[in-house]
Structure 1
Amino acid sequence: MTFFKKSLLAAVLITTVQSVTGQLLAPVEQLQDHCKRDIPAGYSPKLNILTLMPKGNLHYLFPLYHAFKDEAKFKGIYTEKGYYDELSQYFAFAGDYQTAMQYLESSYDSIDDGARRKVFRMVDGLKNVEHVEAWKYIHFAARNTRVLMINEAHNKPLQSAFVISLLKDLYKGGYRLLAMEMLNNFSDHELSRLRLHTGYYTAEPVLGELVREALAIGYQLVPYEDTVAGHRPNQRDSIQAANIYSALQRDTTARMLVLASYTHISEKETEDGFIPMALAFKRMSGIDPLTIDQTDMTEEGNFGYGRVLYQAYLQKFSIKSPSIALVNNTPVNVIHGDLYDLSVIHPLTKYQDGRPTWFNLGGLRQPVPIKPSSPSVFFVQAYYQDEIAGNNNKPWQLVPADQTYIPGGKKLYLLYLKKGKYVIYFRDIDYHILSTLSIEVN
């Protein structure tokens, strides 16, 4: 969709990696101390990869145990930046967005004061920029293409929440296929309902809600990930593109929404010859997808410079809801003008009792305070009652609707839940189930 191409700014200087900044939440410090002082339940010194799925079950504290207990080892395996980025993702999985952003910031190169001032001066000089509601503009633009591609960052469920807000209108516009990079593309996948084998990243609760909502609306889920682990990046993206095109050929009338990560939806070949999935798809299918980035202009950005640029932009412009920037009625991309058709600018997160208010998913869910069953409670999870009942009354391979270890006012745990029946699981810091509670949200 080349008529959208235009950029506002260019990059500047980046310097060194930084450590975790700011005061960590009390439960995070408690978890750190527990892991360094004691041996968390299930800990294995032989583990050389951080994972949510020990012994084939979901365990949301398991990767945090090992990252804290064996920090030096995993920094050696992932690099220091990679270690912080991995931790950021697993804090997001655990429902702690604030700490996820702190660790994400630590994975970036730092920016010196001179470069920061230059970025703020550049942004302050921007003129004639208007902003429109992103969902309205996307709904309008989506009419002119058969394929809409939007990206997300694995540690920012905010972006999954925004995709949820698009689902109903896109479905009304003929979009019937939801292709997701995060779906399991092996033979054991489960695509008619959300389970452990639906996908690894769909175990993040907000992304899980996206899957549930899409299925309830009527979307058909389409996995398209390359299943050969040894492929080079070019091979992977080309196979992803071929799998997407194959699904469209099987249903020649349906429109498709594609959810991918990061720059897979870029429409530009890199200087070293890498061809991203969206460009590979465009070349093989002849279909020009509408590509929408929402990873650059979100709090903490994608990299150190992007983080500062985002801060400067929100100081200059008042962004209250996900928006598209326009100059002379033409969409502009603040950072990468030639990679994507549209760029969504997200507002800063507001918190209630330590939890983002956008967890309400645009009104689909409501905040529900939960009283802990005992002083030993550390982690509170809400599972759909019907999913528990259909899984032999066990939660082990199910994705919670929401979960948190952050106590709010009056030491209540705030969960965001749709109307319906739930089973609340109270766990201690070693992930042992202390008790359960059945509730109904009206």
Structure 2
Amino acid sequence: MRPGVRLWKCVLVNALMCALAGPASAAAAPDQKTTYLAPLRAAEEKIGALDDFHRLGQLSAAERKTLEETKGRYLQMLGTYLTNAGDADGAARAFGWWTQLFMAERTAQLPNGALAGATAQDAIEAIVAQARNHQVVILNEAHHVPQHRVFAARLARELRKLGFDYLACETLDAGVMAPLANGRVEKHAGFYSREPMYGEFLRSALLDKWKIVSYDTGGPTGESDMVKRMRLREEEGLENLLQRIFDRDPQAKVFIYVGYDHAAERQIPGRSIPYPMLAEILAKRLGTDPLTIDQATMFAYPERAAEHPLYRTVLGRFARSRPFVLAGPESGYEVIGSSRGRVDMQVVHPDEVRIVETGRPLWMATQAGLSPQAVPGELLPAKGRRLIQAFHMEDGPEAVPADMVMVEAGKKAPMLMLPPGQYRYAFEE
């Protein structure tokens, strides 16, 4: 499969997800209007039993093809709703299966010997050093990886100290110029920002007095030609950025947080979408050179078969406990995979996805700095399953939860992972 096909499949799945985002569950706690469990349940019903995915490596080519055609297209939908419901491990498995089905032909895209002369540098420190010489910083994410939002929040905190003052996020509703004007991170502000780590990223940005701007339209909904629709999406997003930031403040220093290939500055035959992406057209219109960073390639999955072919090689050569970048032997930075030559830098995340005694991924403690808290006993279900949610005490009924966990009757409950503060609780079932 050609690199870049990933984006088309994301578009199709997003359309399915929007259709499945239904009304609130009647069984939800009274203060819940926008639900997490209802669309997740719909996605689970669409995909059905997961047995064949668990034995993916044992299937014949014909069986894999059948699985791809009958259930594979629903994996991203399932994974995204698992992410939004706080199940980072389940989401990673779903997206890992999707990767194995649809991106089996990924290539290393790295010249022989490139790693031999490279040196590892702390990612935040290296990016901040480079950002001093740029007006715009563009960082991407894999939409199913909350860990990427933790990194984005850490980077934003440091960029703010450099004088960056506008934060533009792909997820936010483009119809609202100031989507968080009420000072609260609410579920209706955007789709991906309903996920707890994204919510905490935006809460941190509000506390640091970022001017938060929406821009992404998703492309004109009435356009049936998918290539044209997605090309127009890039152009409409740029126009919103110009109108809402640069036309008003030509010297504005802006941090733009996007998904996947929107951070690409250049088109490379065979490795690019067939039209320029946001970073490229922004550079041309503004006459500026954005600092572009990929973090959607080099990270761990629960199942190693889903990882980039060079990920473990890099980890073995550069043993680091925090996200890092690879500096070239003379200048510049090494980038691995289809983003090579298309972005300036690439973050390598350490492998901290394993589930620990809290029942949650290790990175929630080590990178996000969250502390475990047991689910209040009175909220545990007597039967079935229940999605337990913790909200900041000061937040309203439509706020994004600080965290949530799925609890099943008769099974040990995962622990909530929370920053310091006071919390109230709710549930959906």
Shorter-chain TM-score range: 0.7 to 0.9
In the alignment, which residue of structure 2 is the partner of 1:309? 310
Q: CA deviation at 1:364?
A: 5.0
Q: 2:232 aligns with which of 232, 235, 239?
A: 235
Q: Distance in 2 between matches of 1:123 and 1:421?
A: 53
Change (3 A) 1:78 1:367: farther
Task: Tell me if structure 2 keeps the 8 A contact 1:139–1:169.
Answer: yes
In the alignment, which residue of structure 2 is the partner of 1:137? 126
Q: How does 1:68-107 map to 2 (within 5 A)?
A: 68-71=44-47, 80-107=71-98
1:250 alignment partner, SS class:
coil
Q: 1:225 aligns with which of 203, 207, 216?
A: 216
Q: Distance in 1 between matches of 2:294 and 2:44?
A: 33
Moved more, 215-224 or 370-379: 370-379
Consecutive unaligned residues in structure 2, runs of 5 or more: 6-16, 26-31, 50-65, 224-228
Change (3 A) 1:355 1:340: same
In the alignment, which residue of structure 1 is the partner of 2:360? 355
Task: Tell me if structure 2 keeps the 8 A contact 1:324–1:345.
Answer: yes
Task: Tell me if structure 2 keeps the 8 A contact 1:372–1:412.
Answer: no
Change (3 A) 1:337 1:382: same
2:350 alignment partner, SS class:
coil
Task: Tell me if structure 2 keeps the 8 A contact 1:370–1:414.
Answer: yes
In the alignment, which residue of structure 1 is the partner of 2:55? none
In the alignment, which residue of structure 2 is the partner of 1:416? 417
1:60 paired to 2:36: yes
Consecutive unaligned residues in structure 1, runs of 5 or more: 1-10, 15-46, 389-394, 433-442
Q: Distance in 2 between matches of 1:139 and 1:131?
A: 15
Q: Distance in 2 between matches of 1:131 and 1:52?
A: 46
Q: Distance in 2 between matches of 1:124 and 1:269?
A: 25
Q: Distance in 1 between matches of 2:103 and 2:179?
A: 48
Q: Distance in 2 between matches of 1:81 and 1:304?
A: 16
In the alignment, which residue of structure 1 is the partner of 2:53? none
Q: Distance in 1 between matches of 2:280 and 2:135?
A: 15
Normalised by the length of structure 2, the TM-score is 0.77
1:385 paired to 2:374: no
Moved more, 235-244 or 374-383: 374-383
Q: Deviations over 1:282-306 (max 9, x none)?
A: 11111111000100111249x9785
Q: Deviations over 1:55-78 (max 9, x none)?
A: 8932212122122223379x9999
Q: CA deviation at 1:123?
A: 8.3
Task: Tell me if structure 1 keeps the 8 A contact 2:72–2:101.
Answer: no
In the alignment, which residue of structure 2 is the partner of 1:248? 246
1:366 paired to 2:371: yes
In the alignment, which residue of structure 1 is the partner of 2:8? none
2:296 alignment partner, SS class:
coil
Q: Deviations over 1:390-428 (max 9, x none)?
A: xxxxx3x22100001258xx9354112222211022x4x
Q: Deviations over 1:80-126 (max 9, x none)?
A: 4331111111111111111111111111245999x89x97x998994
Letter in 2 for 1:354: G
Q: Distance in 2 between matches of 1:255 and 1:112?
A: 36
In the alignment, which residue of structure 2 is the partner of 1:207? 198
Q: CA deviation at 1:139?
A: 0.7
Moved more, 157-166 or 58-67: 58-67
Change (3 A) 1:86 1:48: closer
2:346 alignment partner, SS class:
strand
Q: Distance in 1 between matches of 2:138 and 2:167?
A: 10
Aligned length, in residue pairs = 373
Q: Distance in 2 between matches of 1:111 and 1:185?
A: 30
Task: Tell me if structure 2 keeps the 8 A contact 1:130–1:326.
Answer: yes
Change (3 A) 1:112 1:139: closer
Q: Percent identity of the aligned residues? A: 26
2:116 alignment partner, SS class:
coil
Task: Tell me if structure 2 keeps the 8 A contact 1:110–1:304.
Answer: no
Q: 1:334 aligns with which of 329, 336, 340?
A: 336
In the alignment, which residue of structure 2 is the partner of 1:322? 323
1:261 paired to 2:259: yes
Change (3 A) 1:278 1:412: same
Change (3 A) 1:403 1:78: farther
Q: Distance in 1 between matches of 2:318 and 2:209?
A: 38
In the alignment, which residue of structure 1 is the partner of 2:346? 343
Letter in 2 for 1:229: T
Q: RMSD of the TM alignment (CA)?
A: 3.7
Q: How does 1:144-183 map to 2 (within 5 A)?
A: 144-183=133-172
1:164 alignment partner, SS class:
helix
Letter in 2 for 1:263: D
Q: CA deviation at 1:238?
A: 1.4
Q: CA deviation at 1:241?
A: 1.7
Task: Tell me if structure 2 keeps the 8 A contact 1:266–1:276.
Answer: yes
In the alignment, which residue of structure 1 is the partner of 2:173? 184
In the alignment, which residue of structure 2 is the partner of 1:34? none
In the alignment, which residue of structure 1 is the partner of 2:61? none
Letter in 1 for 2:233: R
Q: Distance in 2 between matches of 1:195 and 1:383?
A: 11
Moved more, 50-59 or 208-217: 50-59
Q: Distance in 2 between matches of 1:318 and 1:412?
A: 33
1:398 alignment partner, SS class:
coil
Letter in 2 for 1:161: V
